């Protein structure tokens, strides 16, 4: 089974978890980057609001085709209780018929507020959600050094 971990990170903790999973599973790795650079303040406003409204943001083209994979593991931080906006952009790129795993990184390890709807959004893409888990990072909001 060909597997890829596709993730967005702002502060770096989702990147760390994505790299760990990819190494453990022998999966390819693909980082999603927003087209417009975002600072810390813009992660809260408008970022938190975009997350709550399930808004997609423009992202740079991926250097892989998700069609080439059987299983797609999506990783994303939680903003204001919801997956960060880049998650919605990944959803738009998700081909139907894939097996999907999801991990959501947050300081609290709790995305229960939005979890059911998040699962439905993946299933509405014609994908089978095989696993969905929270990762408690304890990380404070911050921006990764590039
Ligand atoms: C804009 C913003 C909103 C956040 N909202 C929450 C939240 O609602 N609940 C929570 O537990 N953590 C929240 N956090 C903390 C992040 O989810 C946590 O630091 C996560 O590990 C970040 O992942 P990253 O380092 O890959 O960006 C927020 C962080 C940011 C930047």
Domain count, the chain: 1
CA distance 53 to 1: 34
CA distance 80 to 114: 10
Q: How far is the CA of 68 from the centre of ligand 1 (A)?
A: 30
Query: Which of 56, 45, 46, 51 minimizes the C-alpha distance to 113?
Result: 51
Is residue 78 a part of any domain in this protein?
A: yes
83 CB within 6 A, ligand 1: no
Is residue 10 a part of any domain in this protein?
A: yes
Tens digits of per-residue pLDDT, 73-88? 999 999 999 999 999 9
Q: Which atom of ligand 1 is nearest to the CA of 81?
A: 8
**C-alpha distance from residue 13 to each of 64, 92, 98 (Å):** 22, 24, 26
Q: Which domain holds residue 28?
A: 3-136
Is residue 144 a part of any domain in this protein?
A: no
**C-alpha distance from residue 145 to each of 72, 112, 129, 137 (Å):** 26, 29, 32, 18
- List the residue whose alpha carbon is closest to atom 24 of ligand 1: 11
Does pLDDT of 146 surpass 80?
no
CA distance 109 to 132: 12
Pocket residue to mutate for ligand 1, from 49, 52, 78, most atoms within 8 A of Cβ: 78
CA distance 39 to 26: 33
Tens digits of per-residue pLDDT, 15-70? 999 999 999 999 999 999 999 999 999 999 999 999 999 999 999 999 999 999 99
Is residue 141 a part of any domain in this protein?
A: no
CATH number of the domain to which 36 belongs:
3.40.50.360
Q: How far is the CA of 98 from the centre of ligand 1 (A)?
A: 27
């Amino acid at each position: 089974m060909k597997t890829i971990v596709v993730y967005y990170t702002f502060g770096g903790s989702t990147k760390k978890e994505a790299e760990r999973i990819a190494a453990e599973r022998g999966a390819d790795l693909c980082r999603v980057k927003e087209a417009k650079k975002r600072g810390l303040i813009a992660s809260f406003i408008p970022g938190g609001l975009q997350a709550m409204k399930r808004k997609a943001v423009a992202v740079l083209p991926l250097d892989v085709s998700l069609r080439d994979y059987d299983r797609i593991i999506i990783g994303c931080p939680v903003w204001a209780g919801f997956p960060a906006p880049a998650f919605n952009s990944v959803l738009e790129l998700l081909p139907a018929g894939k097996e999907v795993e999801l991990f959501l990184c947050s300081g609290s390890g709790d995305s229960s507020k939005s979890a059911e709807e998040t699962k439905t959004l993946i299933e509405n893409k014609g994908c089978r959600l095989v696993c969905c888990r929270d990762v408690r990072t304890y990380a404070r909001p911050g921006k990764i050094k590039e």
